[in-house]
Structure 1
Amino acid sequence: MPQQRRHHHGSAGHHRPCTHPPRRHRRTRLSGRTRLGLLAAHRRPREQRPPHCLSGQRQRTCAADHRAPRPRLGHHRRRDGQGPACGDPSVTSPPLAGRRVVITRAADQSHELVQQIAALGAEAIVVPLIAIVEPSDAGAALHHALEHLAEFDWLVVTSPNGAARVAGAVARLEASTSGQAQRRMPRLAAVGRTTAEALPLRADLVPQRQFAAGLVAEFPEGTGTVLIAQAEQAGHEVADGLRSKGWQVEVVAAYRTIPQVPPAAERSAVLLSVLSADAVLFASGSAARAWVDVFGPSTPPVVIAIGPATAQAAEELGLKITAIAADHSLDGLVACLSACLLGHG
């Protein structure tokens, strides 16, 4: 009678495969953790990084029409056994769930941005590094210019804050000129869509390229008068550009930005919080300057600028910009953030 072959299932230092397993063990049961591990191993690879956020480029522009990310499938069941099963397509998580994003805008202007980021599932960390205050002359030059607003051919605003400062005067003049042929409204020009939306009337000119150079390029030539309401610290690019086209230009400071420094006792904790975030958003060059004053050149991995002027100011301060929003608005800023964070996976 032949001797029955023994099956060795292995011991320390010696592993022999079992070539003839007993029938009752033909079907091996896997633990829940193992099954999830196998599912994860066979998932489709994460989408490749969008072209506008590929590494190796010093600076990129985010496409405004990028595809929205596909929500991730849920893999959790409630402890009481109720609710959808593992992998149920009806259970989704927001595309930026678990991400943390630093917002550097003034505290009273951050609400909309916080809402948009929260809608994507990310946590917004509001660190207001700037505040919007009256210009150094307490608004005297702006007030005088707005009293004579009807004498100008154009009113140009270069930021939402500037537009907000002149909105009341524009609305009053429009109401007073209604039905009066002897008084007229100046034409309105805004540097971008978000700035135009802060005006009480529809702007006559909003350039396709929503920054200073784009506004100058599309502004018509002429010999009339132009009033520009801008930040006290703003440059002269728009004024010089319009003068080169024949216009007589008057520039007034509508507001100024001042840095907001966290209290010394909180600075270390704030620094740790912002540097451990996934991204930071800059909507102005003044916010970038305030960042360097408080935190130095260190930043989260992803740094998004709302436009070329902001990016240039940030890079001149030693900050590395990951991408620039193609649409220089809050919507464009968030779209660019989403594309880059998903690309960084």
Structure 2
Amino acid sequence: MAFSSSLGPFLPPSGTFRAHPTRRLQAGAPGRLAASSPPPPDVVVTRERGKNAKLIAALEKHNIHSLELPLIKHVEGPDTDRLSDVLRNDKFDWITITSPEAAAVFLQGWKAAGSPKVRVAVVGEGTARVFDEVSQSDDQSLEVAFSPSKAMGKVLASELPRSNENRCKVLYPASAKAGHEIQDGLSERGFDVMRLNTYTTVPVEDVEPLTLNLAISAPVVAVASPSALRAWLNLVSKVDNWNNSVACIGETTASAAKKLGLESIYYPTTPGLEGWVESILEALRVYRQPKEAPKC
């Protein structure tokens, strides 16, 4: 469900919690936390390590306790090594980039290819920001020239301008786990699309018991991709009746949550950090509302 601003203000306890890997369950007391353990978190933030700081800082402004638990990590894809050769030897009307990680991997290959002149279409403000330093440089060999009206891949596929009436070539560097809606949508419109799977995601498998116990106790888990969502469900698969809320960064991840059978789902109509924070706050407001007494 999308968030709503109609509910009253939420006033949770102050402070932010971050997991400390060195802490363990208290010896001799299985299942009980040591006296020095921090309070339970309000929300679990799950992006890969090093990419949760902005969300944590935004939640701190609302006095939300955050537990950082990276659920996925990015690794090279089968076409990583091909990217620079393709950019060096071929010309494209558009490069379509749909995530910050895809942007970072593309920039590495683009620089290795000698920084050829390219025109880029991006999905989302976070993705666009990865290109800021390069696109604002003096040589202007990389131009961020298009962003769709809504930060979704299928909208990009429907709105990308044709710069050539005869043949318009598009390079789509993507995660190996990304769907096919962009390449299929563009192909249906007559674009010539080359997809390169330049990276992929794998779940983080080593989670210490204390951190996992705290994460499961949180009323909200925040996820930014279907891969992170699947990794979370795998972690909690051995827990009976886990039914807390999921706050998704956007509609794509929320749709995946619905397909996986989750019910308490919150997401913004426009993907991005601000809307994501509002969705988390909405989930917490609903969680904190007084529960109705059972009817006799």
TM-score bucket (shorter structure): 0.7 to 0.9
Deviations 1:291-342 (A, max 9, x none): 1222128656321111222112222223334211222112221122123323
Q: Could you say what secondary structure the match of 1:253 adopts?
A: strand
* Residue identity in the other structure for 1:197: R
Q: 1-side partners of 2:264 and 2:181: how far apart?
A: 22
Q: 1-side partners of 2:66 and 2:253: how far apart?
A: 21
Q: 2-side partners of 1:253 and 1:290: how far apart?
A: 21
Listed as ranges, the matches of 1:198-237 within 5 Å are 198-199=130-131, 200-201=134-135, 203-221=144-162, 222=165, 223-237=167-181
Q: 1-side partners of 2:253 and 2:10: how far apart?
A: 32
Give the Å deviation of 1:70: 5.5
Q: Could you say what secondary structure the match of 1:294 adopts?
A: helix
Listed as ranges, the matches of 1:1-345 within 5 Å are 60-62=1-3, 66=5, 100-137=42-79, 139-148=80-89, 151-168=91-108, 185-199=117-131, 200-201=134-135, 203-221=144-162, 222=165, 223-263=167-207, 266-267=208-209, 269-296=210-237, 299=242, 301-345=244-288
Q: 2-side partners of 1:153 and 1:214: how far apart?
A: 18
Deviations 1:153-210 (A, max 9, x none): 100011110011123455788x967xxxxxxx33211122221121232622111221
8 Å contact from structure 2 (residues 43, 67) kept in 1: yes
Over 3 Å counting, the alpha-carbon distance change for 1:299 and 1:311 in structure 2 is farther
Question: After the TM superposition, which segments of 4 or more aligned residues of structure 1 sit over 3 Å from their partners?
Answer: 66-72, 168-173, 297-300
Q: 1-side partners of 2:212 and 2:174: how far apart?
A: 31
What TM-score comes out, normalization by structure 1 length? Answer: 0.64
Equivalent residue for 1:8? none
What's the C-alpha RMSD, in Å, of the aligned pairs?
A: 2.9
Deviations 1:79-116 (A, max 9, x none): xxxxxxxxxxxxxxxxxx99611011111211222221
8 Å contact from structure 1 (residues 102, 279) kept in 2: yes
Equivalent residue for 1:46? none
* Residue identity in the other structure for 2:43: V
Q: Point out the structure with max Rg over C-alpha.
A: 1
8 Å contact from structure 2 (residues 10, 281) kept in 1: no
Q: 2-side partners of 1:158 and 1:233: how far apart?
A: 13
Give the Å deviation of 1:232: 1.2
In structure 2, runs of 5+ residues without a counterpart are: 14-38, 136-142, 289-296
In structure 1, runs of 5+ residues without a counterpart are: 1-59, 75-96, 178-184
Over 3 Å counting, the alpha-carbon distance change for 1:318 and 1:68 in structure 2 is closer
8 Å contact from structure 2 (residues 40, 214) kept in 1: no
Q: 2-side partners of 1:319 and 1:271: how far apart?
A: 20
Q: Could you say what secondary structure the match of 1:62 adopts?
A: coil
Q: 2-side partners of 1:112 and 1:131: how far apart?
A: 18
Aligned length: 248
Q: 1-side partners of 2:68 and 2:256: how far apart?
A: 21
Q: 1-side partners of 2:144 and 2:40: how far apart?
A: 40
8 Å contact from structure 2 (residues 98, 122) kept in 1: yes
Higher relative contact order (CA 8 A, sep 6+): 2
Over 3 Å counting, the alpha-carbon distance change for 1:134 and 1:172 in structure 2 is closer
Q: 2-side partners of 1:176 and 1:164: how far apart?
A: 14
Give the Å deviation of 1:68: 11
Same amino acid, percent of matched pairs: 29
